[in-house]
Amino acid sequence: MGVVLYDYWRSSASYRVRIALGLAGLDWQAVSVNLLTGEHRDTQNLARNPQGLVPTLEIDGQTLTQSLAILEYLDETRGLGLLPADAAGRARVRALAHAVAMEIHPVCNLSVARHAVDASGGAITMESWMQRFIPPGLAAVERMLGDTATGRYCHGDTPTLADLCLVPQMYNAARWGIDTSALPRITAIMAALNDIPAVQAAHPDHFKPEG
Amino acid sequence: MGVVLYDYWRSSASYRVRIALGLAGLDWQAVSVNLLTGEHRDTQNLARNPQGLVPTLEIDGQTLTQSLAILEYLDETRGLGLLPADAAGRARVRALAHAVAMEIHPVCNLSVARHAVDASGGAITMESWMQRFIPPGLAAVERMLGDTATGRYCHGDTPTLADLCLVPQMYNAARWGIDTSALPRITAIMAALNDIPAVQAAHPDHFKPEG
């Protein structure tokens, strides 16, 4: 059985997993679950992903959900080096990853932001919601990176879990017109990350459904 | 140097770490950072926690942030058994933990909910926000638990990372008057969890600042 990723092109969580699959050099197939037409809440998607979300990864006879759990699985089974060897380093990398994946991303998820907009009767806009949460969240990550453990990437000179969370978050920041010019550490790390073929190959533009 | 946890009694993320410290049998001290008076944004707290959040754990000469990163560190260095031995099991436990800690908790964080209320001019209330996100989030976790790997606890018969996320989330659900009677798996697991001394000892009521 091949490796199948059920994803959506603009889903940050899917994007993280696409990068890891690329780093692993796996032969895998993407199956798009269209969030705009509600395919994620279909019986088929719920059967593979009880939360009704993307991504879901079919691999090794397992059906895995939740992007960071998938990244840790790929790291453990494919030796991607996404976490450093020392416990303190692993804690730092996970803290950086979670500073993006738990603090910024869930709040700025489209379904959450759209609910805020709708339930506020228009007093909240998509833009105002994103502006409220993305800039301070990224500024906090920038402060966390002001540490000697930061290297070419978020932690040392090889990409880690933290970098795989940062890439989609910066894509989203650009999408919402967030000014990131005051984030020199993140900007330098992003330049290094964008040189990695697996990062380039995972870009949403390559996974946009046709039509 | 002793183990110090900078926490806040009602913070779910702090509550998770308190349970783990109890399971580890560590001698530790709680220092309250009052979120209501803005102490988390003070210079002192920012120096230890660049995100301006709680919890922060001082241990082994390290200053650790982000609750799930801390839990993984404690598991790795104190052998708490919070993750199963097999990679697929670890992926399931992390997925369950993240279904709470990434999907429900960040969106229902008080600072996010309060912003939604304030920016909506009152069209959104704290209660309506919680009702919108906690019940479907818990229902998804209930579905994920419909799996033979579920035992006395979320995964097998010993507490894992998933259980440590579930306990504070259920405390929050009760706080906001969420009806959880249609969640039999979670209800049974919570009953088992509430029998554990480390879970009892970590309850927010024991960490409420005086005055």
A206 class by beta-carbon count within 10 Å (0-12 exposed, 13-18 middle, 19+ buried): exposed
With CA atoms as reference, the chain B residue closest to A161 would be B69
Percent of chain B with pLDDT over 90: 96
CA distances from B40 to A133, A164, A210, B13, B33 (A): 17, 28, 47, 14, 6
pLDDT mean over A184-191 = 98
**Judged by CB atoms within 8 Å, which residues 106-145 of A form the interface with B?**
106-107, 109, 112, 115-116, 119-121, 123-124, 128, 132-133, 140, 143-144
Residue B1 pLDDT: 67
Say yes or no to pLDDT of A124 above 90. yes
Please give the average per-residue pLDDT across A180-195, as a whole number. Answer: 98
A89 touches chain B (CB under 8 A): no
The model's pLDDT over B97-113, given as tens digits with 9 standing for 90+, comes to: 999 999 999 999 999 99
Collect all residues of chain B within an 8 Å Cβ-Cβ radius of residue A116: 116, 119-120, 124
Name every chain A residue with its beta carbon within 8 A of the beta carbon of B146. 50
Q: Select from B76, B119, B146 the Cβ nearest to the Cβ of A87.
A: B76
pLDDT mean over A51-68: 97
Q: Provide, as residue numbers in chain A, all residues whose Cβ is less than 8 Å from the Cβ of B72.
A: 90-91, 94
Q: How far is B47 from chain A (nearest CA, A)?
A: 10
Q: How far apart are CA B3 and CA B28, in angstroms?
A: 5
Least-confidence region, from A7-11, B37-41, B86-90, B115-119: B37-41
- C-alpha of A95 from chain center: 14
Give A209's pLDDT tier (boundaries 50, 70, 90).
confident
| Model ipTM value | 0.97
Kindly state the helix (H) or strand (E) to which residue A79 belongs, with its residue range. none
Q: Quick: pLDDT tens for B135-175.
A: 999 999 999 999 999 999 999 999 999 999 999 999 999 99
Q: Provide mean pLDDT across the span A124-131.
A: 98
Residue ranges per structural domain of chain B: 3-80+199-207, 87-196
With cut-offs at 50, 70 and 90, classify the pLDDT of residue A1. Answer: low
Helix (H, G, I), strand (E, B) or coil at B89: helix
As a whole number, mean pLDDT of residues A196-201 equals: 98
Minimal CA separation from A144 to chain B, in Å: 6
Q: In the block, which residue shows the tokens 């909240």?
A: A124
User: Is residue B62 over pLDDT 80?
Assistant: yes
Q: Do the beta carbons of residue A66 and residue B162 sit within 8 Å? A: no
Judge contact between B186 and B170, C-beta under 8 A: yes
Average model confidence (pLDDT) for chain B? 97
A3-80+199-207 classified as CATH 3.40.30.10: yes
A211: pLDDT strictly greater than 90: no
Q: What is the pLDDT of residues B19-35, one digit of tens each?
A: 999 999 999 999 999 99
pLDDT score recorded for residue B52: 95
pLDDT band at B206 (very low <50, low <70, confident <90, very high): very high
Q: What is the mean pLDDT of residues A181-207?
A: 98
Write out pLDDT tens, residues B174-188: 999 999 999 999 999
Q: How far is A179 from chain B (nearest CA, A)?
A: 19
Per mean pLDDT, which range of A22-26, A34-38, A111-115, A150-154 is the poorest? A34-38
Q: Does A47 touch chain B (CB under 8 A)?
A: no
User: What is the average pLDDT across B55-66?
Assistant: 98
pLDDT at residue B64 in the model = 98
- Per-residue model confidence (pLDDT) at position B190: 98
Q: Does an H or E element contain B14, and which?
A: helix B12-24
**Domain B87-196: CATH architecture, name and number where available:** Up-down Bundle (1.20)
Residue B211 has pLDDT above 80, yes or no: no
Other C-beta atoms within 10 Å of B150: how many?
A: 18
Write A55-59 long-range contacts (CB < 8 A, 24+).
Answer: A55/A5, A55/A6, A55/A7, A55/A11, A55/A13, A55/A14, A55/A17, A56/A5, A56/A6, A57/A3, A57/A4, A57/A5, A57/A6, A57/A17, A58/A1, A58/A3, A58/A4, A58/A5, A58/A6, A59/A3, A59/A4
Average pLDDT over residues A158-184: 98
What pLDDT is attached to residue A210? 77
